[in-house]
């Protein structure tokens, strides 16, 4: 059975002008798990994450985090509550060094020793970032920027990380590496993760619980070990053979 819900979405509807992107989504992310929302291009995955982190205000429904209603709160406040968003396309600060990008992630923290320890820990997860610590982040490859974006989110000591398509534009080898570290972060730090992905194979292997999104609606949910066995789902909703 699943642990208690850390994040709870109830009947969320979000739209861009007349375009309804999310049409009544309810989902839960339990304390300590990796949950995933799977779906094809345009299904509404990114819109769900933006609604959770306060970038988009929903037309209907509520977002509850750690027992608090955070619906449509200011995004900066939501980060302070322990919820970090790693957006699609990474969005590192290109003209700041790798190390300064990491420090930006920790800007609300006052525990210098803790910050230094966490920088050391992300360098252990992603050794290439240690080698590039003094370089401008804009000079990193796409995969390295993804590593930095995840690391910067970690520096805020979040209880929950929202991860938008970490595999986007990366080679299969690099995707596999990043997923392995995401699972390690979850296991070692106990960080709860909500991952949205088009790469259903990778996500179903990494996550504990999965939701399948189609046209802004959840059409199926189950434990990932069960979803992996359902061939028809893979074929119809996830484009896998
Ligand atoms: P992708 O993998 O392409 O990001 P997604 O599953 O994350 O897909 P969303 O980006 O959430 O999907 O988009 C959901 C729907 O909302 C799509 O129909 C998309 O065209 C539409 N949409 C997204 N952003 C905007 C916007 N800024 N203005 C208008 N429509 C938008």
Q: 238 pLDDT band (50/70/90 cuts)?
A: low
First vs last C-alpha separation in the chain: 30
In the chain, the percentage of residues whose pLDDT exceeds 90 is: 81
Q: How far apart are CA 194 and CA 210, in angstroms?
A: 10
20, 44, 239, best to mutate for ligand 1 pocket (most atoms within 8 Å of CB): 44
pLDDT in tens, 141-193: 999 999 999 999 999 999 999 999 998 888 899 999 999 999 999 999 999 99
Separation between Cα atoms, residue 104 and residue 79, nearest integer Å: 13
Task: Name the burial class of residue 177, with classes exposed (0-12), middle (13-18) and buried (19+) by CB atoms within 10 angstroms of its CB.
Answer: middle
Cα 109 to averaged position of ligand 1 atoms, centre (Å): 34
Question: Can you tell me the mean pLDDT for 208-229?
Answer: 94
CA of 41 to the centre of ligand 1 (A): 8
Residues with beta carbon inside 6 Å of ligand 1? 16, 19, 21, 39, 41-47, 88, 198
Q: What is the mean pLDDT of residues 196-202?
A: 90
Nearest CA to ligand 1 atom 31: 16
Is the confidence metric ipTM above 0.85 for this complex?
yes
């Amino acid at each position: 059975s699943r642990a208690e819900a850390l994040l709870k979405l109830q009947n969320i509807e979000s739209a861009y002008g007349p375009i309804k992107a999310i049409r009544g989504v309810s989902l839960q992310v339990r304390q300590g798990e990796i949950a995933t929302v799977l779906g094809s291009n345009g299904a509404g995955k990114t819109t769900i994450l933006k609604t959770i982190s306060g970038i988009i205000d929903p037309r209907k429904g509520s977002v509850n985090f750690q027992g608090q209603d955070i619906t449509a709160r200011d995004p900066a406040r939501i980060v302070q509550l322990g919820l970090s968003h790693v957006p699609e396309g990474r969005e590192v600060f290109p003209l700041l060094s790798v190390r300064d990008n990491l420090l930006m992630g920790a800007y609300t923290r006052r525990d210098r020793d803790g910050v230094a320890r966490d920088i050391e820990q992300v360098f252990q997860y992603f050794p290439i970032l240690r080698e590039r610590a003094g370089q401008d982040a804009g000079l990193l490859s796409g995969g390295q920027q993804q590593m930095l974006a995840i690391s910067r989110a970690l520096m805020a000591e979040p209880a929950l990380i929202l991860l938008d398509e970490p595999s986007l534009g990366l080679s299969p080898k690099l995707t596999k590496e990043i997923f392995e570290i995401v699972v390690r972060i979850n296991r070692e730090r106990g960080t709860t993760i909500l991952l949205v992905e088009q790469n259903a194979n990778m996500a179903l292997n990494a996550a504990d619980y999965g939701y399948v999104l189609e046209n802004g609606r959840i059409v199926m949910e189950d434990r990932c070990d069960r979803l992996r066995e359902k061939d028809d789902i893979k074929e119809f909703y996830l484009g896998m053979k």
